[in-house]
Amino acid sequence: MDLITLALNLYTQSVDPMIDLANIDEVRDTVVHCNRIGIHERHPYAGTHVRTAFAGTHQDAIKKGLEHHTAQAEATNTPPASHPWQVPYLPIDPKDIGRSYEAVIRLNSQSRKEE
């Protein structure tokens, strides 16, 4: 297990790893440069496609989860960033690692194709 995965797995369980990964892309690029080893695009947390939903059902669940998160934060009068994070398929708020959720549908071998 690599340090980023360990640290952010701890973070998802409310354990502060005390490592600043707010600019995870810079950390990833430095590791790739120093080790001369690429990082898989679906690597947990650091991959370029890790926050991209590849199926419409995942996108729908994430969309509803984000809406629920915002509604719960408003109902409890807390800022969304301070409200407990519980969104399907997103173990942490992408903003915590300097990312955003991108709703992009990508067809793969498991996707249904309309003809």
pTM of the model: 0.66
Residue 114, pLDDT score: 44
Domain co-membership, 58 together with 17: no
Burial class (CB in 10 A: 0-12, 13-18, 19+), 4: buried
Residue 58, pLDDT score: 80
pLDDT at 33 over 90: yes
Number of domains in the chain: 2
Q: Give the residue-averaged pLDDT of 34-41.
A: 90
Domain co-membership, 93 together with 61: yes
Amino acid at position 87, single letter: V
**CA-closest candidate to residue 92, choices 1, 2, 3, 13:** 13
pLDDT at 111 over 60: no
Residue 113, pLDDT score: 46
Q: Are 35 and 87 in contact (CB under 8 A)?
A: no
pLDDT digit string (tens) for 41-99? 888 888 877 767 767 788 888 889 999 999 999 999 999 888 999 999 888 888 888 87
What is the four-CA torsion angle of 12, 17, 23, 27, rounded to 10 degrees?
-110
Domain co-membership, 29 together with 43: yes
pLDDT at 32 over 70: yes
Domain co-membership, 12 together with 37: yes
DSSP 52: B
Residue 35 pLDDT class (50, 70, 90 cuts): very high
End-to-end CA distance of the chain: 42
Domain encompassing residue 29: 1-50
